[in-house]
Amino acid sequence: MLNNLTTQYPDPIMQLITLCREDTRDTKIDLGVGVYKDGAGQTPVMHAVRAASKKVWDNETTKVYTGLSGDPEFGQAMRKLVLADSVDAERVGVIATPGGTGAIRQAFELARLANPDLTVWTSNPTWPNHLAILKFMGIPNTEYAYFDEVSCNVDFDAMMGSLKGVQAGDMVLLHGCCHNPTGANLTLEQFGLVADLIADKGALALVDIAYQGFGDGLEEDAAPTRLLASKLPEMLVAASCSKNFGVYRERTGCLMAISEDASMTAKTQANMNYLNRVAFSFPPDHGARLVTTVLTDETLTAQWKTELEEVRLSMLGLRTQLSDELRQRTNSDRFDFIAQHRGMFSRIGATPEEVMKMREDFAIYMVSDSRMNIAGLKPSTVPFLAEAIAKSCK
């Protein structure tokens, strides 16, 4: 029977990991998958997370199952981190999930349980796995305009124009901060207008927040999600801890569901628990426990915030350096948007051929849509990249 399977090709981000690994040129620069690297090119375990790990090791007395929703303390800690007091805690149901991807999958499953005729609206472009999961699940997908390829910024008028087509019962997927793949983000005011439109249409917002703390700061990056939560009667939030806690391989994240009023929360929560049960029973706990330990210990929280801020500032520094280098080399302000973008990624507006030229001539690996992971750079490699971009992009 397995003979009947057709070939599955890895998505462009996964493909790039292999291609870059196989390149033997020692000057190669990996700007592919969204993983933070420090100045030494390492993806370190954060000190606060290492300390939490020791604490868990010393104090954990059992590995017995948690609950279908995961450890409730994790759910509370994540609700506070992401939503703060923007919404009454009684209205929020939470399940722990295997990473942010698990949360996205469960969000689509939950919305489809509520509306079997679900259509999901995604930004053009969006993270390729959003589209792959929707396709796999057979959920219709409509794209809304988002990115202006010429200015490399958000085309907000076009976005609002296409969102006019949203119907009651549709889902609108928004990136809470640090848009992936473009790096171009809405202002808080624009998020407010999108919230009003979603409310008017009777649609359900799903906020994917995978980079809180990587853009303008921990609180600033959560502000759009909190604004939406305060304005909308119902909302889903898929949060990832992979990047901001550096716990990529632990698969740590959660789905939060805000119900219209507190009396609905138990039913929503029971549906979420059910979805975990039929997918994998109990969600992974180790990473969630590390995150909870950091977020419930004042000293560890302070240490984590300091480390996260260092990561954020190092990416901002690389952005400024790269856009300055490109200004000098191209004698223009064409790439100034790189300094204005936020988060790990910038889509720089190069054609697939130009991206390929940079790969072949300079061993620079970015996704073929010209998304590059800023955190894959070091101050010492920025001039080389700037040279490659200036020489390869028309």
Question: Interface residues with ligand LMR (CB under 6 A)?
Answer: 13, 33-34, 127, 129, 180
Nearest CA to 130 out of 191, 83, 181, 95 is that of 181
**Selection from 103, 98, 105 nearest residue 286 by Cα:** 98
- Which residue type, as a one-letter code, is found at position 54? K
d(CA 299, CA 303): 6
Q: For residue 256, give the 3-state DSSP assignment.
A: strand
Q: Which of 155, 208, 221, 285 is catalytic?
A: 208
Q: Which of 243, 257, 363, 375 is catalytic?
A: 243
Can you read off the two tokens belonging to residue 86? Answer: 């923007």
CA 332 distance to own-chain centroid: 31
Query: Which CB atom, from 70 or from 253, has the smaller least distance to ligand LMR?
Result: 253
127 or 362: CB nearest ligand LMR? 127
Q: Which residues pair with 147 in a beta bridge?
A: 154
Closest CB 130 distance from ligand LMR, rounded Å = 10
Which one, 334 or 371, has the nearer CB to ligand LMR? 371
Nearer to ligand LMR, 303 or 346 (CB): 346
User: Taking a C-beta distance cutoff of 8 angstroms, is the pair 286, 250 a contact?
Assistant: yes
Q: Which residue is nearest to ligand LMR (CB)?
A: 34
Q: Would you say 118 or 344 has its CB closer to ligand LMR?
A: 344
> Does 201 qualify as catalytic in the annotation?
no
Residue 304 is a catalytic residue = no
Q: Residue 85 corresponds to which tokens in the numbers above? A: 């007091």
In the complex, least distance from residue 127 CB atom to ligand LMR, rounded to whole angstroms: 5
278: Cβ contacts below 8 Å, ≥ 6 apart: none
Kindly name the residue from 48, 103, 107, 210 that is annotated as catalytic: 210
Radius of gyration for the alpha carbons in the chain, expressed in angstroms and rounded: 21
Catalytic residue among 77, 103, 127, 363: 127
Continuous segment of H or E residues that includes residue 171: strand 171-175
Residue 12 C-beta: closest distance to ligand LMR, Å: 9
| Residue whose CB is less far from ligand LMR, 93 or 125 | 125
DSSP string, 2-67: GGGPPP-PPPHHHHHHHHHHH---TT-EE--S-----TTS--PPPHHHHHHHHHHHHH--------
Tokens of 323: 């856009």
Tell me whether residue 34 or residue 125 sits nearer to ligand LMR (CB atom).
34
The sign of the dihedral angle between the CA atoms of 93, 97, 103, 108 is negative
229 has catalytic annotation: no
Beta bridge partners of 120: 141, 171
Q: Shortest approach of ligand LMR to residue 170 CB, angstroms? A: 24
CB 280 within 8 A of CB 98: yes
> In whole angstroms, how close is the CB of 21 to ligand LMR at the nearest point?
15
Active site residue 210: yes
Of 165 and 352, nearer to ligand LMR (C-beta) is 352
Closest contact distance (angstroms) between CB of 73 and ligand LMR is 26
Report CA 187 to chain centroid distance, whole Å.
17
Question: Smallest distance, Å, CB 180 to ligand LMR?
Answer: 5
Closest CB 34 distance from ligand LMR, rounded Å: 3
The DSSP string of 143-169 is: EEE-EETTTTEE-HHHHHHHHTT--TT
Residues involved in catalysis: 127, 208, 210, 243
